Structure formats: C-alpha cells, structure tokens
Amino acid sequence: MLSKVLDLRVAASVCIAGVGMLLSPTSFAADEGEKTAFKHHCVTCHGYDGKSNASRYPNLAGQNAPYLVSRLKYFRAEEEPGNQMNAQAVLLTDDEIDLLADYFSKQAN
C-alpha cells in the first residue's frame, strides 16, 4: 500500500514538473536552488515550495538558511543512523547544500 502511495506521489510530481516546463520553459527552475531541489528529489517529500502535505516530513519553507545547512551536513555525515535523510544528503556537495538552504529559506512559510 505504501509503495503504491509513494509511486503515485512521484508520478504526480513528475507530471506537475512536466506541465510547469511546458507552460513556462524560460522561468521554470531558473533558480539554481530550485533546480537542485528537483535534481535531488527534495520536492517529492518536502513539496515544491518547501511545504510538505504530509505531516511526517518537515516544512522547509522559511527556515533559517544556516540551520538548513547544518541539518543537511548533519545528515550527510550520518550522525543519526537509520534516518532516511542520510541517503539523500550523502549525494550533496557543499555548494548544493548552500543552494538548497538559500532556496528553501526564501520560500514563504
């Protein structure tokens, strides 16, 4: 059941992203932080603008950028064994972490 829900969520995200690109090819994902959020699938759980629709995922919109940087580096270092964010953050470079933190901190909460 959970697998089907996650498959539907990913499919919906892909569809929304595709429609957005068709409607606005020059402005869609123009921001590097936004591109990075899509590249690393942050939006799948945390929402396009950093506001998650699921209570199990924290909202990132409007969070303090240095806080987001510290949390992503914390997960990248696998300080909390078994956390699902470890596998996501291990793929991020320092520059990508900075871009993501800047992008999500500027989203309206």
Q: Does residue 21 lie in a domain region?
A: no
pLDDT per residue rounded down to tens, the chain (109 residues): 655 544 556 555 545 545 444 444 434 444 899 999 999 999 999 998 999 989 999 999 999 999 999 999 999 999 999 999 999 999 999 999 999 999 999 999 8
CB-hemisphere CA count at 13 Å for 81? 0
Q: Does residue 10 lie in a domain region?
A: no
**Alpha carbons 82 and 102: distance in angstroms, whole number:** 26
Q: What is the pTM of this model?
A: 0.71
Distance of CA 79 to the CA centre of its chain: 20
- Domain residues for the domain of 72 are 32-105
CA Rg value for the chain: 14
Structure tokens at 72: 């992503």
Q: Does residue 4 lie in a domain region?
A: no
Give me the amino acid identity at 3: S
Q: Does residue 23 lie in a domain region?
A: no
Q: Give, for 45, the enclosing helix (H) or strand (E).
A: helix 42-46
Count of the separate structural domains present in the chain? 1
Structure tokens at 59: 């909202």
